[in-house]
Structure 1
Amino acid sequence: MKNKSLIFTIIAVIVIGALIFVLNNYTKSVQPAPSQVAENNSPSNNEDQNTSSNVNSNTTEQSEPKIGNQVGDIAPDFTLKDLDGNTVTLSSLRGKKVILNFWATTCPYCIIEMPALNQFIKSHKDDTVLLAIDLGESPSKVKQYLEGKGYEFTVLLDTDLSTIYDYQVQFIPMSYFIDKNGIIRAISNGAMTYDEIEEYYKSISR
Structure 2
Amino acid sequence: MARLRDRLADLPATGEILVGGPAAQALDTNVTTQRDLRVVIPLILAMLLVILAVLLRSLLAPVLLVAATVVSFGAALGVSALVFRHVFGFEDADPTVPLYGFVFLVALGIDYTIFLMTRAREETPRHGTRAGVLRALTVTGGVITSAGVVLAATFAALAVIPLMFMVQLAFIVAFGVLLDTLIVRSLLIPALVRDIGPKVWWPAKVD
What TM-score do you get using the length of structure 1 for normalisation? 0.27
Structure number with higher helix proportion:
2
What TM-score do you get using the length of structure 2 for normalisation? 0.27
Structure number with higher strand proportion:
1
From the CA coordinates, give the structure whose radius of gyration is larger: 1
